[in-house]
A and B are shown apart, each in its own frame.
Chain A
Protein backbone atom coordinates (compact mmCIF):
# COMPACT_ATOMS: atom_id res chain seq x y z
CA UNK A 1 0.00 0.00 0.00
CA UNK A 2 1.32 3.49 -0.73
CA UNK A 3 1.88 5.89 2.18
CA UNK A 4 -1.07 7.94 1.03
CA UNK A 5 -3.50 4.96 1.39
CA UNK A 6 -2.02 4.08 4.80
CA UNK A 7 -2.49 7.64 6.01
CA UNK A 8 -5.99 7.82 4.59
CA UNK A 9 -6.90 4.51 6.26
CA UNK A 10 -5.71 5.75 9.61
CA UNK A 11 -7.41 9.09 9.06
CA UNK A 12 -10.76 7.36 8.58
CA UNK A 13 -10.20 5.31 11.73
CA UNK A 14 -8.84 7.95 14.09
CA UNK A 15 -10.19 11.15 12.65
CA UNK A 16 -8.20 14.33 13.11
CA UNK A 17 -5.77 12.89 15.67
CA UNK A 18 -3.74 11.95 12.59
CA UNK A 19 -1.75 14.69 10.90
CA UNK A 20 -1.63 14.91 7.12
CA UNK A 21 1.03 13.19 5.07
CA UNK A 22 4.15 15.27 4.63
CA UNK A 23 5.90 14.41 1.37
CA UNK A 24 8.48 17.06 0.72
CA UNK A 25 9.51 19.17 3.62
CA UNK A 26 11.50 21.41 1.26
CA UNK A 27 8.75 22.05 -1.32
CA UNK A 28 11.11 24.08 -3.56
CA UNK A 29 13.32 21.17 -4.59
CA UNK A 30 11.90 18.03 -6.26
CA UNK A 31 12.38 15.20 -3.79
CA UNK A 32 14.45 12.15 -4.72
CA UNK A 33 12.23 9.09 -4.53
CA UNK A 34 13.71 7.87 -1.24
CA UNK A 35 12.58 10.66 1.05
CA UNK A 36 10.63 9.54 4.09
CA UNK A 37 6.91 10.13 3.85
CA UNK A 38 5.63 10.52 7.35
CA UNK A 39 2.61 11.74 9.22
CA UNK A 40 2.11 12.65 12.84
CA UNK A 41 -0.13 10.90 15.36
CA UNK A 42 -1.19 12.65 18.53
CA UNK A 43 0.01 10.99 21.74
CA UNK A 44 -3.56 10.59 22.97
CA UNK A 45 -4.40 8.05 20.26
CA UNK A 46 -0.91 6.60 19.77
CA UNK A 47 -1.42 3.36 21.71
CA UNK A 48 -4.54 2.32 19.79
CA UNK A 49 -3.02 3.52 16.53
CA UNK A 50 0.04 1.36 17.22
CA UNK A 51 -2.09 -1.74 17.78
CA UNK A 52 -4.14 -0.87 14.72
CA UNK A 53 -1.00 -0.49 12.65
CA UNK A 54 0.24 -3.87 13.80
CA UNK A 55 -2.86 -6.01 13.73
CA UNK A 56 -5.01 -4.48 10.95
CA UNK A 57 -5.43 -6.93 8.04
CA UNK A 58 -4.38 -4.36 5.44
CA UNK A 59 -1.40 -2.85 7.30
CA UNK A 60 0.23 -5.65 9.40
CA UNK A 61 3.31 -3.58 10.37
CA UNK A 62 4.93 -6.37 12.40
CA UNK A 63 8.52 -5.13 12.04
CA UNK A 64 9.41 -2.03 13.98
CA UNK A 65 12.63 -1.00 12.26
CA UNK A 66 13.78 1.91 14.36
CA UNK A 67 12.63 4.35 17.04
CA UNK A 68 14.40 7.73 16.95
CA UNK A 69 14.10 10.58 19.40
CA UNK A 70 14.34 14.09 17.95
CA UNK A 71 14.67 17.48 19.58
CA UNK A 72 14.27 20.61 17.50
CA UNK A 73 14.47 23.19 20.33
CA UNK A 74 10.68 23.51 20.28
CA UNK A 75 9.25 20.04 20.83
CA UNK A 76 10.41 16.45 21.33
CA UNK A 77 9.39 13.87 18.72
CA UNK A 78 9.55 10.08 18.70
CA UNK A 79 9.84 8.75 15.16
CA UNK A 80 8.73 5.16 14.53
CA UNK A 81 9.91 3.57 11.26
CA UNK A 82 7.61 0.63 10.59
CA UNK A 83 7.99 -2.14 8.06
CA UNK A 84 5.66 -5.00 7.20
CA UNK A 85 7.47 -8.23 6.43
CA UNK A 86 4.23 -9.56 4.93
CA UNK A 87 3.04 -6.73 2.69
CA UNK A 88 6.63 -5.46 2.26
CA UNK A 89 5.62 -1.81 2.62
CA UNK A 90 6.96 0.74 5.09
CA UNK A 91 5.83 3.97 6.76
CA UNK A 92 7.23 6.51 9.22
CA UNK A 93 5.10 7.79 12.06
CA UNK A 94 5.93 10.71 14.35
CA UNK A 95 4.53 11.33 17.80
CA UNK A 96 5.21 14.82 19.15
CA UNK A 97 5.30 15.87 22.80
CA UNK A 98 6.06 19.24 24.37
CA UNK A 99 9.41 19.81 26.05
CA UNK A 100 8.08 20.65 29.50
CA UNK A 101 5.73 17.62 29.69
CA UNK A 102 7.40 14.94 27.52
CA UNK A 103 5.00 12.06 28.28
CA UNK A 104 3.62 9.67 25.68
CA UNK A 105 2.25 6.10 25.69
CA UNK A 106 4.88 3.45 25.05
CA UNK A 107 4.79 1.13 22.03
CA UNK A 108 6.65 -1.59 23.96
CA UNK A 109 3.54 -3.75 24.66
CA UNK A 110 2.90 -3.78 20.88
CA UNK A 111 6.45 -4.35 19.57
CA UNK A 112 8.97 -5.91 21.99
CA UNK A 113 11.77 -4.30 19.91
CA UNK A 114 10.58 -0.92 21.15
CA UNK A 115 11.64 -1.97 24.67
CA UNK A 116 15.34 -1.11 24.27
CA UNK A 117 14.78 1.51 21.57
CA UNK A 118 12.47 3.56 23.79
CA UNK A 119 14.79 3.16 26.74
CA UNK A 120 17.51 4.70 24.58
CA UNK A 121 15.20 7.55 23.51
CA UNK A 122 14.37 8.14 27.18
CA UNK A 123 18.03 7.93 28.16
CA UNK A 124 19.41 10.29 25.48
CA UNK A 125 16.45 12.64 24.98
CA UNK A 126 14.30 12.43 28.06
CA UNK A 127 11.03 11.33 26.40
CA UNK A 128 9.06 9.43 29.06
CA UNK A 129 7.14 6.44 27.71
CA UNK A 130 4.25 5.44 29.95
CA UNK A 131 3.38 1.77 30.13
CA UNK A 132 6.93 0.73 29.29
CA UNK A 133 8.11 -2.54 30.87
CA UNK A 134 11.05 -1.04 32.80
CA UNK A 135 12.02 2.45 31.69
CA UNK A 136 15.59 2.92 32.90
CA UNK A 137 18.64 4.51 31.36
CA UNK A 138 20.25 1.98 29.02
CA UNK A 139 23.48 3.60 27.88
CA UNK A 140 24.33 6.14 30.55
CA UNK A 141 24.86 5.41 34.25
CA UNK A 142 21.70 5.59 36.37
CA UNK A 143 22.67 8.81 38.14
CA UNK A 144 23.68 10.80 35.04
CA UNK A 145 22.16 14.25 34.95
CA UNK A 146 20.61 15.56 31.75
CA UNK A 147 19.91 14.03 28.36
CA UNK A 148 22.89 14.37 25.97
CA UNK A 149 21.11 14.49 22.60
CA UNK A 150 19.02 17.51 23.51
CA UNK A 151 20.07 20.63 21.63
CA UNK A 152 20.49 22.62 24.84
CA UNK A 153 22.63 19.97 26.57
CA UNK A 154 25.87 21.11 28.20
CA UNK A 155 28.33 18.33 28.95
CA UNK A 156 29.35 18.29 32.63
CA UNK A 157 33.10 18.77 33.22
CA UNK A 158 33.44 15.69 35.37
CA UNK A 159 31.41 12.74 36.50
CA UNK A 160 32.14 11.40 39.98
CA UNK A 161 35.66 12.80 39.86
CA UNK A 162 36.47 11.48 36.41
CA UNK A 163 37.27 14.30 34.00
CA UNK A 164 35.26 14.11 30.80
CA UNK A 165 37.75 16.16 28.71
CA UNK A 166 41.49 16.33 28.19
CA UNK A 167 43.45 19.52 28.03
CA UNK A 168 44.00 20.18 24.33
CA UNK A 169 47.71 20.80 24.19
CA UNK A 170 47.32 22.11 20.66
CA UNK A 171 45.20 24.98 21.89
CA UNK A 172 48.18 26.69 23.53
CA UNK A 173 49.11 29.86 21.69
CA UNK A 174 52.79 30.49 20.98
CA UNK A 175 54.53 32.12 23.91
CA UNK A 176 52.29 30.40 26.40
CA UNK A 177 53.60 27.68 28.68
CA UNK A 178 55.39 25.91 25.81
CA UNK A 179 57.73 27.42 23.23
CA UNK A 180 58.21 26.00 19.73
CA UNK A 181 61.97 25.69 20.27
CA UNK A 182 61.63 22.93 22.89
CA UNK A 183 62.84 19.70 21.30
CA UNK A 184 59.94 17.46 20.44
CA UNK A 185 60.00 14.61 22.92
CA UNK A 186 59.87 10.85 22.32
CA UNK A 187 62.08 9.01 19.85
CA UNK A 188 61.43 11.55 17.16
Chain B
Protein backbone atom coordinates (compact mmCIF):
# COMPACT_ATOMS: atom_id res chain seq x y z
CA UNK B 1 0.00 0.00 0.00
CA UNK B 2 2.86 2.40 0.80
CA UNK B 3 4.75 1.91 -2.53
CA UNK B 4 1.53 2.74 -4.35
CA UNK B 5 1.09 5.87 -2.23
CA UNK B 6 4.76 6.79 -2.91
CA UNK B 7 4.19 6.20 -6.63
CA UNK B 8 1.10 8.41 -6.63
CA UNK B 9 2.93 11.17 -4.82
CA UNK B 10 5.97 10.93 -7.19
CA UNK B 11 3.83 10.96 -10.28
CA UNK B 12 2.32 14.09 -8.83
CA UNK B 13 -1.35 13.28 -9.60
CA UNK B 14 -2.71 16.71 -8.96
CA UNK B 15 -5.37 16.41 -6.25
CA UNK B 16 -3.96 13.40 -4.40
CA UNK B 17 -0.25 14.24 -4.19
CA UNK B 18 -0.97 17.21 -1.96
CA UNK B 19 -1.91 14.84 0.88
CA UNK B 20 1.56 13.37 1.22
CA UNK B 21 2.32 9.64 1.37
CA UNK B 22 0.48 8.95 4.63
CA UNK B 23 -2.71 10.71 3.53
CA UNK B 24 -2.80 8.92 0.20
CA UNK B 25 -2.22 5.51 1.74
CA UNK B 26 -5.06 6.06 4.22
CA UNK B 27 -7.28 7.17 1.35
CA UNK B 28 -6.24 4.09 -0.62
CA UNK B 29 -6.99 1.80 2.30
CA UNK B 30 -10.47 3.28 2.66
CA UNK B 31 -11.07 2.96 -1.08
CA UNK B 32 -9.87 -0.65 -1.14
CA UNK B 33 -11.92 -1.66 1.91
CA UNK B 34 -15.05 0.01 0.52
CA UNK B 35 -14.46 -1.75 -2.80
CA UNK B 36 -13.84 -5.03 -1.00
CA UNK B 37 -16.99 -4.79 1.11
CA UNK B 38 -19.45 -3.60 -1.48
CA UNK B 39 -17.84 -4.74 -4.68
CA UNK B 40 -16.67 -8.13 -3.56
CA UNK B 41 -17.91 -9.39 -0.22
CA UNK B 42 -21.61 -8.50 -0.52
CA UNK B 43 -22.00 -9.87 -4.09
CA UNK B 44 -20.11 -13.03 -3.08
CA UNK B 45 -22.50 -13.49 -0.13
CA UNK B 46 -25.43 -12.73 -2.42
CA UNK B 47 -24.36 -15.24 -5.05
CA UNK B 48 -23.84 -17.73 -2.23
CA UNK B 49 -27.50 -17.40 -1.16
CA UNK B 50 -28.59 -18.15 -4.72
CA UNK B 51 -26.17 -21.08 -5.03
CA UNK B 52 -27.26 -22.49 -1.67
CA UNK B 53 -30.97 -22.25 -2.42
CA UNK B 54 -30.57 -23.65 -5.92
CA UNK B 55 -28.49 -26.63 -4.75
CA UNK B 56 -30.84 -27.17 -1.81
CA UNK B 57 -33.73 -27.17 -4.28
CA UNK B 58 -32.17 -29.62 -6.67
CA UNK B 59 -31.04 -32.06 -4.02
CA UNK B 60 -34.59 -32.06 -2.67
CA UNK B 61 -36.25 -32.72 -6.05
CA UNK B 62 -37.55 -29.19 -6.35
CA UNK B 63 -36.57 -26.39 -8.71
CA UNK B 64 -35.28 -23.72 -6.36
CA UNK B 65 -35.66 -20.03 -7.14
CA UNK B 66 -36.50 -19.49 -10.79
CA UNK B 67 -39.23 -16.89 -10.72
CA UNK B 68 -37.30 -13.65 -10.49
CA UNK B 69 -34.96 -12.84 -13.30
CA UNK B 70 -33.12 -15.18 -15.66
CA UNK B 71 -32.60 -18.59 -13.93
CA UNK B 72 -33.87 -16.88 -10.76
CA UNK B 73 -30.63 -14.92 -10.36
CA UNK B 74 -32.44 -11.76 -9.29
CA UNK B 75 -33.50 -13.60 -6.13
CA UNK B 76 -30.40 -12.02 -4.59
CA UNK B 77 -31.79 -8.53 -5.16
CA UNK B 78 -35.25 -9.69 -4.20
CA UNK B 79 -34.00 -11.02 -0.85
CA UNK B 80 -32.01 -7.88 -0.21
CA UNK B 81 -34.89 -5.56 -0.99
CA UNK B 82 -37.28 -7.71 1.02
CA UNK B 83 -34.99 -7.61 4.05
CA UNK B 84 -34.49 -3.87 3.75
CA UNK B 85 -38.18 -3.21 3.39
CA UNK B 86 -39.10 -5.40 6.33
CA UNK B 87 -39.64 -3.60 9.60
CA UNK B 88 -36.87 -4.57 12.00
CA UNK B 89 -38.44 -4.95 15.40
CA UNK B 90 -36.52 -4.57 18.62
CA UNK B 91 -38.19 -6.52 21.45
CA UNK B 92 -39.49 -4.24 24.17
CA UNK B 93 -37.41 -5.65 27.00
CA UNK B 94 -34.31 -6.10 24.83
CA UNK B 95 -31.02 -4.53 25.80
CA UNK B 96 -31.17 -1.95 23.02
CA UNK B 97 -27.52 -0.89 22.52
CA UNK B 98 -26.25 -4.48 22.63
CA UNK B 99 -29.11 -5.61 20.36
CA UNK B 100 -28.20 -3.02 17.75
CA UNK B 101 -24.45 -3.55 17.96
CA UNK B 102 -24.50 -7.36 17.66
CA UNK B 103 -24.92 -7.69 13.87
CA UNK B 104 -22.11 -5.20 13.24
CA UNK B 105 -19.75 -7.21 15.43
CA UNK B 106 -20.60 -10.42 13.57
CA UNK B 107 -20.28 -8.72 10.17
CA UNK B 108 -17.08 -6.95 11.25
CA UNK B 109 -15.54 -10.27 12.26
CA UNK B 110 -16.41 -11.75 8.89
CA UNK B 111 -14.92 -8.73 7.02
CA UNK B 112 -11.71 -8.70 9.05
CA UNK B 113 -10.62 -11.90 7.44
CA UNK B 114 -11.15 -10.43 3.96
CA UNK B 115 -8.27 -8.02 4.38
CA UNK B 116 -5.57 -10.65 4.67
CA UNK B 117 -6.69 -13.10 1.99
CA UNK B 118 -4.53 -13.07 -1.20
CA UNK B 119 -6.99 -13.53 -4.05
CA UNK B 120 -4.25 -13.54 -6.68
CA UNK B 121 -0.47 -13.14 -7.09
CA UNK B 122 -0.73 -9.47 -6.12
CA UNK B 123 -4.42 -9.10 -5.31
CA UNK B 124 -3.92 -8.81 -1.57
CA UNK B 125 -5.23 -5.72 0.22
CA UNK B 126 -2.68 -5.79 3.02
CA UNK B 127 -0.05 -8.53 3.18
CA UNK B 128 0.16 -8.65 6.99
CA UNK B 129 2.88 -10.96 8.12
CA UNK B 130 0.63 -12.03 11.04
CA UNK B 131 -2.17 -13.07 8.70
CA UNK B 132 -3.21 -16.26 10.51
CA UNK B 133 -3.38 -14.60 13.93
CA UNK B 134 -5.71 -11.91 12.50
CA UNK B 135 -7.90 -14.67 11.07
CA UNK B 136 -8.16 -16.48 14.43
CA UNK B 137 -8.77 -13.18 16.25
CA UNK B 138 -11.65 -12.46 13.88
CA UNK B 139 -13.20 -15.76 14.98
CA UNK B 140 -13.45 -14.72 18.59
CA UNK B 141 -14.69 -11.29 17.52
CA UNK B 142 -17.65 -13.04 15.89
CA UNK B 143 -18.29 -15.00 19.09
CA UNK B 144 -18.66 -11.75 20.98
CA UNK B 145 -21.21 -10.61 18.40
CA UNK B 146 -23.25 -13.79 18.68
CA UNK B 147 -23.27 -13.70 22.47
CA UNK B 148 -24.34 -10.07 22.38
CA UNK B 149 -27.24 -10.94 20.11
CA UNK B 150 -28.19 -14.02 22.14
CA UNK B 151 -28.16 -12.24 25.47
CA UNK B 152 -29.72 -8.96 24.41
CA UNK B 153 -32.81 -10.42 22.74
CA UNK B 154 -34.18 -11.22 26.20
CA UNK B 155 -35.45 -14.58 25.01
CA UNK B 156 -34.56 -17.82 26.78
CA UNK B 157 -34.05 -19.66 23.52
CA UNK B 158 -31.65 -17.01 22.20
CA UNK B 159 -29.66 -17.00 25.41
CA UNK B 160 -29.31 -20.77 25.11
CA UNK B 161 -28.23 -20.27 21.51
CA UNK B 162 -25.70 -17.64 22.56
CA UNK B 163 -24.30 -19.82 25.36
CA UNK B 164 -23.95 -22.74 22.97
CA UNK B 165 -22.12 -20.64 20.40
CA UNK B 166 -19.58 -19.43 22.97
CA UNK B 167 -18.73 -23.01 23.89
CA UNK B 168 -18.59 -24.05 20.26
CA UNK B 169 -16.52 -21.30 18.68
CA UNK B 170 -13.99 -20.98 21.49
CA UNK B 171 -13.44 -24.71 21.75
CA UNK B 172 -12.98 -24.91 17.97
CA UNK B 173 -10.38 -22.20 17.79
CA UNK B 174 -7.89 -24.65 19.29
CA UNK B 175 -8.23 -27.20 16.44
CA UNK B 176 -8.16 -24.37 13.86
CA UNK B 177 -4.90 -23.11 15.37
CA UNK B 178 -3.54 -26.65 15.69
CA UNK B 179 -4.36 -27.44 12.06
CA UNK B 180 -2.75 -24.25 10.68
CA UNK B 181 0.38 -24.73 12.81
CA UNK B 182 1.99 -27.47 10.62
CA UNK B 183 1.48 -25.30 7.53
CA UNK B 184 3.14 -22.41 9.36
CA UNK B 185 6.06 -24.60 10.41
CA UNK B 186 6.48 -25.85 6.87
CA UNK B 187 6.36 -22.50 5.10
CA UNK B 188 8.10 -20.62 7.84
CA UNK B 189 5.79 -17.59 7.95
CA UNK B 190 2.41 -16.53 9.24
CA UNK B 191 1.40 -14.43 6.24
CA UNK B 192 -0.95 -16.07 3.77
CA UNK B 193 0.86 -14.70 0.72
CA UNK B 194 4.20 -16.20 1.66
CA UNK B 195 2.46 -19.48 2.49
CA UNK B 196 1.05 -19.58 -1.02
CA UNK B 197 4.34 -18.54 -2.58
CA UNK B 198 6.05 -21.47 -0.86
CA UNK B 199 3.76 -23.94 -2.64
CA UNK B 200 3.57 -24.91 -6.29
CA UNK B 201 0.81 -25.61 -8.75
CA UNK B 202 1.10 -29.44 -8.83
CA UNK B 203 -0.65 -31.42 -6.08
CA UNK B 204 2.63 -32.89 -4.85
CA UNK B 205 3.86 -29.38 -4.31
CA UNK B 206 0.86 -28.48 -2.14
CA UNK B 207 1.29 -28.38 1.62
CA UNK B 208 -1.64 -30.80 1.80
CA UNK B 209 0.30 -33.63 0.24
CA UNK B 210 3.65 -32.73 1.71
CA UNK B 211 3.21 -35.36 4.38
CA UNK B 212 0.36 -37.49 5.84
CA UNK B 213 0.27 -35.30 8.95
CA UNK B 214 -0.52 -32.23 6.88
CA UNK B 215 -3.08 -34.24 4.92
CA UNK B 216 -4.92 -34.90 8.19
CA UNK B 217 -4.42 -31.26 9.22
CA UNK B 218 -6.24 -30.14 6.07
CA UNK B 219 -9.39 -32.05 7.03
CA UNK B 220 -9.01 -31.07 10.69
CA UNK B 221 -8.91 -27.44 9.59
CA UNK B 222 -11.86 -27.86 7.22
CA UNK B 223 -14.08 -29.48 9.87
CA UNK B 224 -13.03 -27.06 12.61
CA UNK B 225 -13.62 -24.06 10.32
CA UNK B 226 -17.10 -25.42 9.57
CA UNK B 227 -17.77 -25.37 13.29
CA UNK B 228 -16.27 -21.86 13.60
CA UNK B 229 -18.88 -20.41 11.28
CA UNK B 230 -21.80 -22.50 12.62
CA UNK B 231 -22.43 -24.48 9.45
CA UNK B 232 -24.06 -27.89 9.46
CA UNK B 233 -23.31 -30.37 10.91
CA UNK B 234 -22.37 -27.91 13.63
CA UNK B 235 -25.14 -25.29 13.27
CA UNK B 236 -26.19 -25.72 16.89
CA UNK B 237 -26.38 -22.05 17.92
CA UNK B 238 -29.15 -21.42 15.44
CA UNK B 239 -30.68 -24.89 15.44
CA UNK B 240 -34.06 -24.32 13.89
CA UNK B 241 -35.71 -27.45 15.19
CA UNK B 242 -34.50 -27.04 18.77
CA UNK B 243 -33.96 -23.40 19.64
CA UNK B 244 -36.52 -21.96 17.26
CA UNK B 245 -33.63 -20.19 15.48
CA UNK B 246 -31.12 -19.69 18.22
CA UNK B 247 -29.49 -16.34 18.68
CA UNK B 248 -31.11 -14.59 15.73
CA UNK B 249 -34.70 -15.41 16.71
CA UNK B 250 -35.68 -11.85 17.59
CA UNK B 251 -33.96 -10.25 14.63
CA UNK B 252 -35.81 -9.20 11.53
CA UNK B 253 -35.28 -6.98 8.54
CA UNK B 254 -31.77 -5.89 7.60
CA UNK B 255 -30.44 -6.71 11.06
CA UNK B 256 -31.17 -10.34 10.38
CA UNK B 257 -29.80 -9.82 6.88
CA UNK B 258 -26.40 -8.99 8.32
CA UNK B 259 -26.17 -12.30 10.17
CA UNK B 260 -27.17 -13.90 6.89
CA UNK B 261 -24.51 -12.10 4.86
CA UNK B 262 -21.85 -12.82 7.48
CA UNK B 263 -22.62 -16.53 7.45
CA UNK B 264 -22.47 -16.85 3.69
CA UNK B 265 -19.40 -14.62 3.46
CA UNK B 266 -17.70 -16.85 6.01
CA UNK B 267 -18.41 -19.94 3.93
CA UNK B 268 -16.51 -18.44 1.01
CA UNK B 269 -13.72 -17.14 3.28
CA UNK B 270 -12.95 -20.50 4.86
CA UNK B 271 -12.96 -22.27 1.49
CA UNK B 272 -10.49 -19.66 0.26
CA UNK B 273 -8.27 -20.16 3.29
CA UNK B 274 -8.37 -23.95 2.91
CA UNK B 275 -7.32 -23.66 -0.74
CA UNK B 276 -4.69 -20.99 -0.04
CA UNK B 277 -3.00 -22.66 2.91
CA UNK B 278 -3.31 -26.30 1.93
CA UNK B 279 -4.15 -26.65 -1.75
CA UNK B 280 -1.69 -24.50 -3.56
CA UNK B 281 -3.62 -21.22 -3.67
CA UNK B 282 -3.52 -19.34 -6.95
CA UNK B 283 -0.52 -21.15 -8.52
CA UNK B 284 -1.10 -22.20 -12.11
CA UNK B 285 1.06 -24.41 -14.33
CA UNK B 286 2.69 -21.93 -16.76
CA UNK B 287 3.51 -19.43 -14.04
CA UNK B 288 7.27 -19.33 -14.27
CA UNK B 289 7.17 -19.15 -18.07
CA UNK B 290 4.77 -16.20 -17.96
CA UNK B 291 6.90 -14.34 -15.43
CA UNK B 292 9.93 -15.04 -17.62
CA UNK B 293 8.73 -13.58 -20.87
CA UNK B 294 6.18 -11.05 -19.67
CA UNK B 295 8.10 -9.48 -16.80
CA UNK B 296 11.66 -10.53 -17.62
CA UNK B 297 12.04 -12.93 -14.72
CA UNK B 298 11.25 -10.52 -11.87
CA UNK B 299 8.11 -11.19 -9.88
CA UNK B 300 5.63 -8.48 -10.95
CA UNK B 301 4.57 -5.83 -8.51
CA UNK B 302 1.85 -3.27 -9.03
CA UNK B 303 4.07 -0.22 -8.94
CA UNK B 304 6.77 -1.94 -11.07
CA UNK B 305 4.19 -2.90 -13.70
CA UNK B 306 2.68 0.58 -13.76
CA UNK B 307 6.11 2.14 -14.29
CA UNK B 308 7.17 -0.29 -16.98
CA UNK B 309 3.84 0.12 -18.67
CA UNK B 310 2.94 -3.59 -18.42
CA UNK B 311 -0.36 -2.94 -16.61
CA UNK B 312 -2.32 -5.18 -19.02
CA UNK B 313 -0.01 -8.18 -18.61
CA UNK B 314 -0.05 -7.57 -14.85
CA UNK B 315 -3.83 -7.57 -14.83
CA UNK B 316 -3.97 -10.72 -16.97
CA UNK B 317 -1.40 -12.49 -14.80
CA UNK B 318 -3.43 -11.79 -11.67
CA UNK B 319 -6.64 -12.74 -13.43
CA UNK B 320 -5.32 -16.21 -14.32
CA UNK B 321 -4.09 -16.62 -10.74
CA UNK B 322 -7.48 -15.63 -9.35
CA UNK B 323 -9.24 -17.94 -11.81
CA UNK B 324 -7.28 -20.99 -10.64
CA UNK B 325 -7.97 -20.04 -7.03
CA UNK B 326 -11.70 -19.85 -7.77
CA UNK B 327 -11.54 -23.09 -9.77
CA UNK B 328 -10.35 -24.86 -6.63
CA UNK B 329 -12.61 -22.92 -4.23
CA UNK B 330 -15.96 -23.40 -5.98
CA UNK B 331 -15.99 -27.22 -5.56
CA UNK B 332 -15.18 -26.71 -1.89
CA UNK B 333 -18.07 -24.24 -1.52
CA UNK B 334 -20.40 -26.69 -3.23
CA UNK B 335 -19.16 -29.39 -0.84
CA UNK B 336 -19.94 -27.16 2.17
CA UNK B 337 -23.43 -26.45 0.82
CA UNK B 338 -24.05 -30.11 0.05
CA UNK B 339 -22.90 -31.08 3.53
CA UNK B 340 -25.62 -28.85 4.92
CA UNK B 341 -28.30 -30.74 3.00
CA UNK B 342 -26.91 -34.18 3.79
CA UNK B 343 -25.81 -34.33 7.39
CA UNK B 344 -27.95 -33.98 10.51
CA UNK B 345 -26.92 -31.79 13.45
CA UNK B 346 -24.55 -32.85 16.19
CA UNK B 347 -25.58 -32.53 19.84
CA UNK B 348 -23.71 -29.97 21.93
CA UNK B 349 -21.78 -32.49 24.06
CA UNK B 350 -20.84 -34.58 21.01
CA UNK B 351 -19.62 -31.33 19.47
CA UNK B 352 -17.27 -30.85 22.40
CA UNK B 353 -16.12 -34.48 22.17
CA UNK B 354 -15.23 -34.05 18.50
CA UNK B 355 -13.20 -30.94 19.25
CA UNK B 356 -11.30 -32.16 22.29
CA UNK B 357 -11.03 -35.88 21.66
CA UNK B 358 -10.62 -36.01 17.91
CA UNK B 359 -9.66 -32.77 16.21
CA UNK B 360 -7.16 -31.32 18.69
CA UNK B 361 -5.12 -34.56 19.11
CA UNK B 362 -5.09 -35.04 15.34
CA UNK B 363 -3.90 -31.44 14.92
CA UNK B 364 -1.09 -31.99 17.42
CA UNK B 365 -0.12 -35.24 15.72
CA UNK B 366 0.05 -33.40 12.40
CA UNK B 367 2.34 -30.74 13.89
CA UNK B 368 4.70 -33.36 15.34
CA UNK B 369 4.83 -35.29 12.08
CA UNK B 370 5.52 -32.17 10.04
CA UNK B 371 8.29 -31.15 12.46
CA UNK B 372 9.78 -34.63 12.05
CA UNK B 373 9.64 -34.19 8.27
CA UNK B 374 11.43 -30.87 8.55
CA UNK B 375 14.43 -32.07 10.56
CA UNK B 376 14.78 -35.69 9.35
CA UNK B 377 17.62 -35.84 6.81
CA UNK B 378 16.51 -36.95 3.40
CA UNK B 379 12.78 -36.38 3.95
CA UNK B 380 13.43 -32.81 2.91
CA UNK B 381 11.75 -29.59 4.00
CA UNK B 382 9.62 -27.74 1.49
CA UNK B 383 11.33 -26.90 -1.85
CA UNK B 384 12.44 -23.29 -1.79
CA UNK B 385 11.22 -20.63 -4.06
CA UNK B 386 7.89 -19.98 -5.67
CA UNK B 387 6.47 -22.97 -7.47
CA UNK B 388 9.74 -24.73 -8.08
CA UNK B 389 9.05 -25.40 -11.70
CA UNK B 390 7.80 -28.74 -12.98
CA UNK B 391 9.65 -30.84 -10.40
CA UNK B 392 8.18 -34.31 -10.10
CA UNK B 393 7.76 -35.92 -6.69
CA UNK B 394 10.62 -38.26 -7.70
CA UNK B 395 13.25 -35.64 -7.55
CA UNK B 396 12.07 -34.28 -4.21
CA UNK B 397 13.45 -37.18 -2.18
CA UNK B 398 12.05 -40.77 -1.89
CA UNK B 399 10.14 -40.15 1.37
CA UNK B 400 8.13 -37.38 -0.27
CA UNK B 401 6.95 -39.75 -3.01
CA UNK B 402 5.43 -42.09 -0.40
CA UNK B 403 3.96 -39.27 1.63
CA UNK B 404 2.25 -38.07 -1.55
CA UNK B 405 0.96 -41.43 -2.70
CA UNK B 406 -0.26 -42.62 0.72
CA UNK B 407 -2.94 -39.91 1.22
CA UNK B 408 -4.05 -40.17 -2.41
CA UNK B 409 -4.46 -43.94 -2.01
CA UNK B 410 -6.41 -43.43 1.22
CA UNK B 411 -8.77 -40.95 -0.46
CA UNK B 412 -9.31 -43.31 -3.40
CA UNK B 413 -10.06 -46.16 -0.98
CA UNK B 414 -12.64 -44.12 0.97
CA UNK B 415 -14.48 -42.90 -2.12
CA UNK B 416 -14.37 -46.35 -3.70
CA UNK B 417 -15.73 -48.03 -0.57
CA UNK B 418 -18.56 -45.51 -0.34
CA UNK B 419 -19.42 -45.93 -4.02
CA UNK B 420 -19.45 -49.72 -3.66
CA UNK B 421 -21.56 -49.52 -0.52
CA UNK B 422 -24.16 -47.31 -2.17
CA UNK B 423 -24.38 -49.39 -5.34
CA UNK B 424 -27.95 -50.45 -4.59
CA UNK B 425 -29.78 -50.54 -7.98
CA UNK B 426 -31.69 -47.31 -7.60
CA UNK B 427 -32.37 -46.85 -11.25
CA UNK B 428 -32.05 -43.12 -10.43
CA UNK B 429 -33.04 -40.55 -12.95
CA UNK B 430 -34.97 -42.71 -15.38
CA UNK B 431 -37.84 -43.72 -13.04
CA UNK B 432 -39.83 -46.66 -14.43
CA UNK B 433 -42.57 -45.24 -16.62
CA UNK B 434 -45.36 -44.27 -14.21
CA UNK B 435 -47.81 -42.27 -16.25
CA UNK B 436 -48.87 -39.04 -14.61
CA UNK B 437 -52.67 -38.86 -14.52
CA UNK B 438 -53.94 -38.88 -18.09
CA UNK B 439 -53.20 -35.37 -19.24
CA UNK B 440 -56.14 -35.28 -21.61
CA UNK B 441 -57.16 -31.85 -22.76
In-complex A–B contact (CB below 8 Å):
no
Report A's interface with B, CB cutoff 8 A. none
